[in-house]
Amino acid sequence: MRNMNNILPDWIIKQASLGPNVEVDTELNDDNAFWYFLTACCPLIFEKYAVILHPFWINHKAKREIESGIKLKEEDLKDSDYKSYTWNDFFSRFDFDFQVESAYKTKQQLERKLGKPEWPDYVWAPAEGDCEFADLKNVCNDIIQTNGDCDVNFFYCLLKTKDWENERLIQDKLSRFDTLYMDEELRDSPTAIYPDSKDWCIVSDYDLPMTFVGGSADLIDKIKKQTDIDIFEIQPRFGVKTPTHNNV
């Protein structure tokens, strides 16, 4: 494991750095959010792309108690009592239909139904900027099978570090991904993972409940077959806005 300088290469610096740093050539709305954020968060230099939807969580014990009129304190809500659910499973529990095309908009509608601006105490909304370890590990394993166990860069934006003051860029074998969770100076999953070869990349924007993967057609076709996580192929619909210059 090698600590590198914290300078990201030009091809990914805008997408991985705290932003927004990319101006998309359309306006954001609930209908186009996946495609808008794909352009904003992932370099559009690959054959194919996929989006990983971070799971919802339900504490069924707390749900029963709250619905029976019991008022729970924060210490009554134990992390170990929460169970993860895919967006499809979570939507169906509240009689909402899941379709990838409209999933982000449905999530917003479901949030309003359950009590916006906050989710009920027995629900955890998908983690923003933090892909689940097991999900990310499965994707990394697929990358190793497809592209080999090469040296990669693990980038942590400053909000992912313990002191919230300095970014961290670490280079190591992709198979060593899980050892990063033992580093007490780091928080949660990396903001970005990428090789210098630019064969693929993984980016989790700090404010989003999703992670984007870009790579070869073979790689994306492989990882989208994962059955235990929400991962779907997604193709760019929007580009980066070209700056206008005044002609003199």
**Res. 6: pLDDT tops 80:** no
**Res. 150: pLDDT tops 60:** yes
pLDDT more than 70, % of the chain: 94
Average pLDDT, stretch 207-229?
94
In this prediction the pTM is 0.92
* Structure confidence at residue 138 as a pLDDT band (50, 70, 90): very high
**Res. 205: pLDDT tops 70:** yes
Structure confidence at residue 166 (pLDDT): 85
Structure confidence at residue 243 (pLDDT): 62
pLDDT more than 90, % of the chain: 74
Average pLDDT, stretch 84-100?
94
Average pLDDT, stretch 75-101?
94
Q: How far is CA 33 from the centre of its chain?
A: 13
**Res. 129: pLDDT tops 60:** yes
Structure confidence at residue 241 (pLDDT): 87
Q: How far is CA 25 from CA 10, 37, 40, 241, in A?
A: 20, 12, 10, 4
Q: What is the DSSP secondary-structure string of 192-243? A: EEE-TT-S-EEE--TT-SEEEEEE-HHHHHHHTT-SSSEEEE------BPPP
**Res. 124: pLDDT tops 90:** yes
Give pLDDT tens digits for 151-178: 999 999 989 998 887 899 999 999 999 8
Token readout for 119 is: 């989710």
Structure confidence at residue 5 (pLDDT): 61
Q: How far apart are CA 17 and CA 37, in angstroms?
A: 14
